[in-house]
């Protein structure tokens, strides 16, 4: 009998992708919309990385690779983890995938049985909940407060642990809030994973975009329990290249690779070669510095601008998002998002699917000119 699976019927389309599409559609109709919806850097991929991909193509690196990724890339990643994160992984503890998203998908498929619980710290990136549910798992949500800068209280997380807890996901710097968790919070969460023997999934994709504070990898505290997930999309402006990676206990990494071997096989061969260049070239460091400075300027501009308009705005310390309280526009953030789009022609993502009621996510990965105009339009709406 024809019909779609219950699994896919329960799956919600990504709200960030949907809002972006709505803004693009309005723009296509000639409406001048400023989109603050994008979850990607507005910079182009650095030239030296593109050249490395082109070189790999010319050298015929166009065939199947091992499902865990080429050994040269996994060796470069082992060096990266040691150099930047103080983590010691051997290449056989590392797997690459089709974006950080693809890696997380493989991970939840590899560790979850139906009914297993995964603790998510809200507001959270929407794909965690969707991917956990696709694997038969049950998301358990622990809230954080805007007043606390959206940093979790480890005791509140501990209170959510049950005998069915299989994993806890942490994402610092955070999408959608921009929170950077202090080292002591990450240490406490890693110790919790050890104490109750569950996995700590640490999504570190924004590690290089920190404006206040420093990055800490909880895998340093609990190496047997942590799966460190990362990717090149945000650091090197390579969202479309689709390459992510993970490191952790060998059995988990091998299981993830097994799933990949039966699904997408591996990320694109010449992209893997280009990523070695991204990880190891001095030029990448210059690019990261440039991007970080630009994002930091925009961050200050947006936070000051929103506060001056009377919208309560916790200061983001990393990534490129800000989450103002939009209840002065409308109590319901979905309505507030509609009003912002229709009356101010500014597209944002309502906090609903992030579990951030009363808030919207604005991305400041766009020009200062666009940001100033967006603030002017919101000011007009509020005035």
Q: For residues 95 and 245, is the Cβ–Cβ distance under 8 A?
A: yes
Cβ 103 to ligand PLP shortest distance, Å:
8
Residue 318 touching ligand PLP (CB under 6 A): no
For residues 233-272, which are near ligand PLP according to CB under 6 A? Answer: 233-234, 239, 244
Length of the chain: 383
Taking CB under 6 A as the binding criterion, the range among 1-9, 81-89, 97-105, 348-356 that sits at the site for ligand PLP is 97-105
Can you state the percent helix, strand and coil of the chain, rounding each to 5? Answer: 45, 15, 40
Cβ 239 to ligand PLP shortest distance, Å:
5
Residue 171 touching ligand PLP (CB under 6 A): yes
Residue 357: closest CA among 321, 325, 381, 328: 325
Cβ 173 to ligand PLP shortest distance, Å:
9
Measured from the CB atom, the residue of 93 and 202 that comes closer to ligand PLP is: 202
Q: For residues 22 and 341, is the Cβ–Cβ distance under 8 A?
A: yes
Residue 175 touching ligand PLP (CB under 6 A): yes
Among 41, 100, 152, 350, binds ligand PLP (CB under 6 A): 100
Taking CB under 6 A as the binding criterion, the range among 70-78, 87-95, 98-106, 213-221 that sits at the site for ligand PLP is 98-106
Q: What angle do CA 166, 246, 92 make, to 5 degrees?
A: 105
Taking CB under 6 A as the binding criterion, the range among 93-101, 111-119, 269-277, 293-301 that sits at the site for ligand PLP is 93-101
Residue 125 touching ligand PLP (CB under 6 A): yes
Cβ 16 to ligand PLP shortest distance, Å:
9
Residue nearest to ligand PLP (CB): 99
Q: Long-range contacts: 302-308, Cβ < 8 Å, 24+? A: 302/362, 302/364, 302/371, 302/375, 305/371, 305/372, 305/375, 306/375, 306/378
Measured from the CB atom, the residue of 208 and 234 that comes closer to ligand PLP is: 234
Among 135, 185, 205, 336, binds ligand PLP (CB under 6 A): 205
- Distance between CA atoms of residues 159 and 165, nearest Å: 11
Among 203, 325, 333, 353, binds ligand PLP (CB under 6 A): 203
- Listing DSSP states for 184-205 in one string gives HHHHHHHHHHHHHT-EEEEE-T
Cβ 85 to ligand PLP shortest distance, Å:
16
- Distance between CA atoms of residues 206 and 130, nearest Å: 21
User: What is the distance between the terminal CA atoms of the chain, rounded to a whole angstrom?
Assistant: 57
Residue 380, both tokens: 């007009």
Measured from the CB atom, the residue of 100 and 350 that comes closer to ligand PLP is: 100
Burial of residue 146 (number of CB atoms within 10 Å: 0-12, 13-18, 19+): middle
Among 15, 33, 39, 223, binds ligand PLP (CB under 6 A): 39
Among 67, 91, 99, 337, binds ligand PLP (CB under 6 A): 99
Residues near ligand PLP (CB under 6 A): 39, 99-101, 125, 171, 175, 203, 205, 231, 233-234, 239, 244
């Amino acid at each position: 009998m024809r019909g779609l699976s219950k699994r896919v019927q329960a799956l919600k389309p990504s709200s960030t992708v949907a809002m972006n599409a709505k803004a693009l559609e309005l723009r296509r109709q000639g409406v001048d919309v400023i989109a603050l919806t994008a979850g990607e850097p507005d910079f182009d991929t650095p030239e030296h990385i593109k050249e490395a991909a082109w070189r790999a193509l010319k050298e015929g690196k166009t065939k199947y690779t091992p499902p865990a990724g080429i050994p040269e890339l996994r060796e470069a990643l082992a060096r990266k983890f040691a150099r930047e994160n103080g983590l010691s992984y051997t290449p056989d503890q590392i797997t690459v995938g089709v974006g950080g998203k693809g890696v997380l998908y493989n991970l939840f498929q590899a560790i979850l049985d139906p009914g297993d619980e995964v603790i998510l710290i809200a507001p959270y990136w929407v794909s965690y909940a969707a991917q956990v549910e696709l694997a038969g798992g049950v998301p358990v949500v622990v809230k954080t407060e805007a007043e606390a800068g959206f940093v979790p209280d480890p005791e509140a997380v501990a209170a959510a642990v049950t005998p069915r807890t299989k994993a806890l996901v942490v994402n610092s710097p955070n999408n959608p809030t921009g929170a950077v968790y202090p080292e002591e919070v990450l240490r406490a969460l890693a110790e919790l994973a050890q104490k109750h023997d569950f996995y700590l999934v640490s999504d570190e994709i924004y590690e290089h975009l920190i404006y206040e504070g420093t990055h800490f990898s909880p895998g340093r505290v609990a190496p047997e329990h942590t799966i460190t997930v990362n990717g090149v999309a945000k650091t090197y402006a390579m969202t479309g290249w689709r390459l992510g990676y993970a490191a952790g206990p060998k059995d988990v990494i091998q299981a993830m690779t097994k799933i990949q071997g039966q699904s997408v096989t591996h990320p694109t061969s010449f992209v893997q070669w280009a990523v070695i260049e991204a990880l190891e070239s001095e030029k990448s460091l210059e690019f990261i510095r440039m991007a970080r400075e630009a994002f930091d300027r925009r961050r200050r501009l947006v936070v000051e601008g929103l506060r001056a308009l009377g919208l309560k705005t916790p200061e983001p310390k990393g990534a490129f998002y800000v989450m103002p309280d939009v209840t002065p526009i409308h109590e319901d953030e979905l309505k507030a998002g509609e009003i912002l789009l229709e009356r101010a022609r500014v597209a944002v993502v309502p906090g609903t699917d992030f579990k951030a009621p009363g808030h919207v996510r604005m991305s400041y990965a766009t020009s200062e000119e666009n940001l100033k105009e967006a603030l002017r339009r919101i000011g007009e709406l509020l005035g």
